[in-house]
Amino acid sequence: MFDGFRATTIDVGEASIFVRYGGQGPPLLLLHGHPRTSATWHRVAPRLVARGFTVVCPDLRGYGRSRGPEPTPDHTAHSKRAVAGDMARVMRALGHDRFGVAGHDRGAPVALRLTLDHPEAVSRVAFLDGLPLTEHLSRVDARFATQWWHWFFFAQPEIPERVITADPDSWYRGDPREMGQENHDEWRAATRDPRVVRAMLEDYRAGLTVDARDEEADRAAGVRIRCPALVLWSLRDDLEQLYGDPVAIWRDWADDVRGHGIDSGHHVAEQAPGPLADALAEFFTG
C-alpha cells in the first residue's frame, strides 16, 4: 500500500497523529470514517498523486495508530473541534497553510468543523456519505433508529466497550478481498485494540453531545461554509433513501454546493476508488 508515500507520527500537543503523505502539487487532506484507518484511502491516494496532488492521509485522533488524551466526562477530548484542530496542526507541520479537505462518514463532520473553525486554511471541502450531525439528529424517526441504532448504543457508558472488546472480530467484519489484504490487516489490528475501541466510541458520544451543541451554536450565529463544497454519496448506501437529496441539505450550510451519487456501497474509497478519485480530482483542481 501507498508506494512512494512517507509515514510518520506528528506530535500536535495533546495528541500524536499517525499520517501518510506523498506527491507534489496542491495539498489535499483525506479523512477516514468509522471504523477505518487512513489505509482505507490506499486505492484513492495514489490516483490523486498521479493527478498532481500532494495527498495527506492521517488516522483521526484515537483511531488506528493515532493517540489522544484519556476520555473526559464531557467528551470534549474526542470532539470534532479537537480532532479538527489536530488536522490543522498536522497540515501546518507538513508545510501546508491552505489546503483542500475531504471527509468520509465520521470524517465528514470533522471536515465540517475544520472548515468552520479554520476557514483561512480550507480552500475547498468535500463531504462523502455524511451530513452535519444535527441534520441527522433532527430527522430521527423509527426508520433512522432501526438502521442507525449503533449511534445510540455507542453513546451508552461502558456497555459497548465490554460488548465489542469481548469479540471484536464478530462485531467489526471486513472482507480482505474487497478491502485489500494490507488495509484489512491494519483495520483488524486497530479494532482489536481496546484503546482504539474506546476512542471510536468517544467519537460517537461527542457527536450526540458537545459536537451537536457546537453545530447548533454555529447555526444560531449564522456561521456558514464560505468555500466551494462538494457532496458525494454512495448510491447503494442509505443516505439518499433516508433524507432525499443530500446537496439540498448541505445548501443550508454552504453558499456554493454541488454533488452527485456514486455507484458504490458505503466504503466508497475501497469499492469505487476510480470514480471517487475522478470526482475529487475534478473538484479540487477547479
Q: Return the CATH number at 262.
A: 3.40.50.1820
Asked if residue 182 belongs to a domain, the reply is yes
Asked if residue 1 belongs to a domain, the reply is no
User: ∠ CA(211), CA(29), CA(13), 5° rounding?
Assistant: 60
Q: Which of 59, 86, 105, 211 is catalytic?
A: 105
pTM of the model: 0.97
Told to judge if 105 belongs to the known catalytic residues of this protein, a careful annotator would answer yes
Asked if residue 226 belongs to a domain, the reply is yes
Q: Which of 34, 118, 184, 266 is catalytic?
A: 266
C-alpha to C-alpha distances, 121 to 9, 28, 92, 97, 240, nearest whole angstrom = 21, 12, 9, 6, 30
pLDDT score for 181: 98
**For the chain, which ranges sit under pLDDT 70?**
none
For residue 43, how many other CB atoms are within 10 A of its CB? Answer: 19
Which range of residues forms the domain containing residue 214?
Answer: 6-285
pLDDT score for 286: 78
How many domains would you assign to the chain?
1
Told to judge if 266 belongs to the known catalytic residues of this protein, a careful annotator would answer yes
